Amino acid sequence: YLTEKRWERLPPKAPEPEKPAYAPAFGPGWAAIRIRDLLTGQKAFPALKGWELRAIEKGALDRDSAERSARQNGGWPAVNAMHAKAGERGQGMHGHGPEDERLGKLCEFVPIGTDCWRAWKAEHDLRGWPWLPDPGTMRGAYFPAGGPERLSEFEHAIRGNQDDVGGREAAE
């Protein structure tokens, strides 16, 4: 091996396989995936349960609030799974890609209890979206930068209209 210098004829080493990217819970990549899934629409249309329908008939339960709760708890299965992993075990997401990383850069940290935090909570309630589990020691979470009033910019970025971000408002 040494006298013949066989190492010079060895094929090149195969590249190391890429490790799947990890987005920590409540971080920018996690937030980007979460908000993207919420913005792209409800994924499931859960029906009210029999006991809920009977309670509505008896006047013991409001139909609108029951339907809203059903949507929040079952309308976005992937988001609810993210919430469960983050809330119960503090786990983020494995295997997100460069696009999620790009969208994560459009997010900012929002501390719990701030006006911006309350605005995001109100936006989630208005849209019927599920709200975050307790972020624990993180003391806040990431959301698209600029608060809910600039959510359309994040939505443009999701849909690939980055060149148009802010363009419509400028043209009006």
C-alpha distances in angstroms, 38 versus 5, 55, 65, 78, 135?
A: 60, 29, 19, 9, 19
99 versus 164: which is more confidently predicted?
A: 99
What pLDDT score does 166 carry? 42
Is the pLDDT at 100 greater than 90, yes or no? no
Q: Which two tokens stand for residue 17?
A: 């396989």
172 pLDDT above the threshold of 50: no
Task: Name the average pLDDT for the chain.
Answer: 85
pLDDT score for 87: 85
Q: What mean pLDDT is predicted for residues 19-40? A: 90
The residues that bridge with 142 in the sheet, in sequence order, are 109
Arithmetic mean of pLDDT, 84-89: 87
Q: Is the dihedral of CA 127, 77, 130, 90 positive or negative?
A: negative
Contact at 8 Å (CB) between 52 and 124? no
For the segment 121-150, the average pLDDT, to the nearest whole number, is 94
Instruction: Tell me: pLDDT of 2 over 50.
Output: yes
Residue 95 has pLDDT above 90, yes or no: no
Q: Which residue has the higher pLDDT, 47 or 105?
A: 105
Q: What is the model's pLDDT at position 122?
A: 97
